[in-house]
């Protein structure tokens, strides 16, 4: 995945009005969130840390986006390029995040790019 960093400003739905991005995918997805009529607000500075266990070490994981919808429901969205989707750490983070969300009435969604992830099996 191309790594590209920068900052988007003049954002209407972002809580702070601006937001930094760490990858092309993240940047694109931030624009998606801005343009989605169902989204009420979104932020990267949500302070949510999800503990997970990696090969016996306990670590914590910061999901990318906290998204609030028009009806008040909330979701955590994690952007990951396709190769990274197959990494063990990604899987472990996702499992912990799903558990975390389930207990708090949130929903967890992984976002990637490319048709391969759509047509073929990705767990």
Between CA 84 and CA 98, with CA 48 as vertex, the angle to 5 degrees is 55
**Closest CB 74 distance from another protein, rounded Å:** 12
Query: Are residues 26 and 111 in contact, defined by beta-carbon separation less than 8 angstroms?
Result: no
What is the C-alpha to C-alpha distance for residues 115 and 19, in angstroms, rounded to an integer?
A: 27
Task: Confirm or reject binding of residue 9 to another protein (CB under 8 A).
Answer: yes
Looking at the DSSP bridge assignments, the partners of residue 53 are 58
For residue 44, state whether it binds another protein (rule: CB under 8 A): no
| 98 contacts 108 by C-beta, under 8 angstroms | yes
Q: Which of 16, 38, 45, 53 binds another protein (CB under 8 A)?
A: 38
CB of 11 to another protein, least distance (A): 6
| CB 94, CB 123: distance < 8 Å | no
- Binding of residue 68 to another protein (CB under 8 A): no
| Binding residues among 95-114 for another protein as defined by CB under 8 A | 98, 101-102, 107-114
Q: What residues line the site for another protein (CB under 8 A)?
A: 4-12, 20, 22, 24, 27-29, 31-32, 34-38, 54, 62, 69-71, 82-84, 86-89, 98, 101-102, 107-123
């Amino acid at each position: 995945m191309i790594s590209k960093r920068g900052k988007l400003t003049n954002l209407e739905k972002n809580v702070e009005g601006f937001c930094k991005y760490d990858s092309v995918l993240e940047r694109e997805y931030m624009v998606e969130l801005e343009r989605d009529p169902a989204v009420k607000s979104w932020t990267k500075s949500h302070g949510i840390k999800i503990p997970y266990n990696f090969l016996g070490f306990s670590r914590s994981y910061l999901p990318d986006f906290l998204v609030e919808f028009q009806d008040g429901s909330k979701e955590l969205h994690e952007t990951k390029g396709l190769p990274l989707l197959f990494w063990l750490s990604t899987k472990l983070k996702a499992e912990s995040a799903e558990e975390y969300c389930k207990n708090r009435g949130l929903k967890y969604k992984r976002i990637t790019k490319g048709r391969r992830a759509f047509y073929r099996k990705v767990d």
